[in-house]
A and B are shown apart, each in its own frame.
Chain A
Amino acid sequence: MIIQIIISGIIMGLIYGLVATGLTLTWGVLDIINFTHGEYLMISMYVSFWLYSLMNIDPLLSLPIVIIVMFIIGYLTYSIVVKNVINAPALSALLATFGLSLVFRNMAQFLWTPNARFITNSVLSGKKISIGSIIIGYPQLAAAIGSLVVIYAIYYFIEKTKVGKSIQATALDKNTAKLMGINTERVFGLTFAISGAAAGIAGGLLSTFYPVYPESGILYALIGFVIVALGGFGNIKGALYGGLIIGLSEAIGGYYLGTQFKYAIIFLIYLIVIQIKPKGLFGW
């Protein structure tokens, strides 16, 4: 049973990690805690659901569309809202995204009603693999592998490509980056766009087995914040490992200490780790 728990923890951890990756980018590059990140997740889940229910497109096939939509929404968030608060005190910027998250959440309720939707007949639904006594559902497996792949893809992009390096430079010191000729405006917009797309993929994958409703993003965002702070902001490796740690803590801690404490345990782990490494596991 413990192995099953561990696997379940790893799967959730990878998904959390993908959510955190998007968040850590905006946090690291713009030094802003993006409260709408959870809503990106929620919106992408709805997009995935509507494409499925109205046009019969399987959520896996609709991923590219979801990615594009979320890429645009992420970029628009920057250009319409965040750009205008970037030089404001940190708290104001944060609250701008908080206000926006309220708008998104309630627009979703206004437009689509609070009823939770489920995707019941995707190509993966109901299928699972069994290895001995270990069971892993296909949707969960796809979500976990997909998350890992995307995290790595983003990591590769940031580390190895020229554009990625310009993002890194801007994160380190935006003024110097500007002096070096980097168009920081574009970098910011791109970062938000990638962040949105990352959340979009997570949402598209989650929609195959998780309920879709207006408030579905809140918890993931909260866990995302903790993971990013745990891993060190701006640090994708940190987001991945942080995600795994949190996913495993939730599963194992919940199993042994009581499922009602699942989330308290996550927060406690954060507090403990951060005592030992005050800038996160990989922060500097």
Chain B
Amino acid sequence: MKRKKWLSLLSLMMVIALMITGCTTAEPVASEEPVVEEEIVVETVKIGAIFPLTGGAAATGVKLKYAVETAQEIINGEYPEIAFPMAENAGLENLDNAAIEFIFGDHQANPEIAKSETERLIQNEGVVGLVGCYHSSSTKPASATSERYMIPFVAGSSSSSALTERGLNYFVRIAPHDGMETEFFFEYLKNLNENYDADVKTVATVYIDNEYGVHANMMVDKWLEEVYGEEGFERILDVKYPSDASNVDTEVLKIKEAAPDIIFHASYINDMTMFANAYQLYEVQPKVVISYCGGFQDQQFLINLEDAANYYSGSNQTIPAIIAANEALSKANEIYKAKSGVDFDGPALEDFASAMVIAEAINMAGSTDGDAIMEVLKSEEFKAPYFATGKIKFGEDGQNEFSASAMTQIIGGEYQNVWPGEDTTSDPVVAFPDWSTR
């Protein structure tokens, strides 16, 4: 008889242990999203924000969190001096000045965790919208999940074109995708050839072996085949490297041997720095190095490399020079800088934008209903004074049609806007000078 007692005691202990863990965060939320009717006053509008906050990409993820927090501050506070939508009044005007609250989740660069964080934020925290996730590999399952819950997802900086090719109804994305960027790069190269006699033809792609790099490389293939192969460009080398490389000597020596005119880089900050250092060491001298949204755009690149950072190019949604020329953005930048210690960079601005846009859409819709918000997102043209283009408009597939990309090059230790258009701050330098002269 006593044995049975202890048996049940043990079972009870296990039950209790598991139940305690279950009950600490159990706030069963009704499975339909709260539909805000006119009579109900919503006090806080919660939005989920999922980023890589620990692990290898944490450096960037944490900055993106600060960018979203900056947006939250501007929306919730009264900033009449910042000429952004949502800045002047406190909170969401059309929802009785309800405050917006971004609830952060850490996906740790693991798509499975991205998915489960999405579900947790929707089910347990009651978020009515989502932003994130930086890594396209995490944005994919996260947004596929939010789709099934009919919760709007506004992706800021994820670049894979696959995201807007899925036919989702509850997904929009702000950053230009890597297909658009690739076209942009080639147009820039054509500009160099036509207006600066650059004579650049041979392309090497150097990319990290994950979704971001591999997909970017696929886009290069695609554009070369469809358009630019016939315009004289040709790819002579394809260098794929593992995501946690201990050194890049072999890669760089291969590049040196092939001696391409142009190098397209899809690399994060650590690998980009290693490559730049190795290019200097081994005296690799391409004419043009253009980076997809990754390590180059991170100001840490300048800090890491100092003089050796010069002459690298890449597309950028913003740079200090552009910020300085935009009064409202400068003020927002001060708030961001107080948190992060650095100025806005491209990805940070894109995720800032995603936070602003989702708040604005909810405000315009006057409701937290997913369908109402998506209706607004897909039909409105949003004023985006923080971008050079000044506006954001999502197409049928959810892609922002206005890319705020500027081609920037590091000249004299600073990012310069070199193409296209009227706001350029410098002419491009069309070839890397001989290493012996530096």
Contact = CB atoms under 8 A, between A and B. Distances in A.
Contacts of A254: 250-251
Contacts of A210: 246-247, 274
B59 A116 contact: yes
Nearest to A2: B253
A211 B274 contact: yes
A279 interface: no
B249 A262 contact: no
Contacts of A109: 54, 58
Contacts of B54: 106, 109, 114
Nearest to B295: A116
Contacts of A250: 250
Contacts of B253: 1, 4-5, 8, 255
Contacts of B55: 114, 215
A219 interface: yes
Contact of B240 (A215, A220, A251, A258): A258
A218 B244 contact: yes
B280 A126 contact: yes
Given A8-B250, A12-B249, A209-B277, A114 B242 contact: no
Given A8-B250, A106-B54, A251-B250, A114 B59 contact: yes
A128 to B, nearest CB: 6
B245 interface: yes
A244 interface: no
Contacts of A106: 54
B76 to A, nearest CB: 27
B304 A251 contact: no
B249 A8 contact: yes
A250 B249 CA distance: 10
A259 B270 contact: no
Nearest to B249: A8
B138 to A, nearest CB: 17
Given A109-B58, A219-B244, A116 B300 contact: yes
The residue in B247, B269, B273, B282 that gathers the most chain A C-beta atoms within 10 A of its C-beta is: B247
A259 B281 contact: no
Interface in A176-231: 209-211, 213, 215, 218-220, 223
Interface in B285-301: 300
Given A120-B305, A120-B306, A263-B242, A135 B283 contact: yes
A260 interface: yes
A157 interface: no
B58 A262 contact: no
B245 A262 contact: yes
How many chain A residues sit at the interface, stated as a range, is: 35 or more
A156 interface: no
B250 A114 contact: no
B250 A116 contact: no
A68 to B, nearest CB: 26
Nearest to B298: A115
A210 B244 CA distance: 12
Contacts of B239: 259
Contacts of B304: 116, 118, 120, 211
B356 to A, nearest CB: 26
Contacts of B273: 116, 118, 211
Contact of A223 (B246, B249, B251, B283): B246
A22 B227 CA distance: 55
A135 B256 CA distance: 12
A255 B255 CA distance: 10
B257 interface: yes
Contact of A12 (B247, B254, B306): B247
Contact of A262 (B242, B270, B283): B242
A113 interface: yes
B246 A219 contact: yes
B147 interface: no
A115 B280 CA distance: 22
A137 interface: yes
Nearest to B342: A115
B56 interface: yes
A106 B269 CA distance: 20
A137 B245 CA distance: 19
Given A116-B59, A116-B300, A259 B246 contact: no
B282 A5 contact: no
Contact of B62 (A113, A209, A220): A113
B302 to A, nearest CB: 11
Given A115-B59, A118-B304, A120-B305, A12 B274 contact: no
A204 B54 CA distance: 25
Contacts of A114: 54-59, 62
Interface in A69-121: 106, 109, 113-116, 118, 120
Contacts of B277: 209
A151 B57 CA distance: 34
Given A116-B270, A219-B244, 5 more contacts: A5-B250, A118-B273, A128-B281, A211-B304, A259-B250
Q: Which 10 A-B pairs have the closest CB atoms?
A: A114-B58, A8-B249, A260-B240, A254-B250, A114-B59, A118-B304, A115-B59, A137-B281, A259-B251, A116-B270
Interface of A: 1, 4-5, 8, 12, 106, 109, 113-116, 118, 120, 126, 128, 135, 137, 140, 209-211, 213, 215, 218-220, 223, 250-251, 254-255, 258-260, 262-263
6 contacts: A5-B250, A114-B58, A120-B305, A135-B283, A213-B59, A250-B250
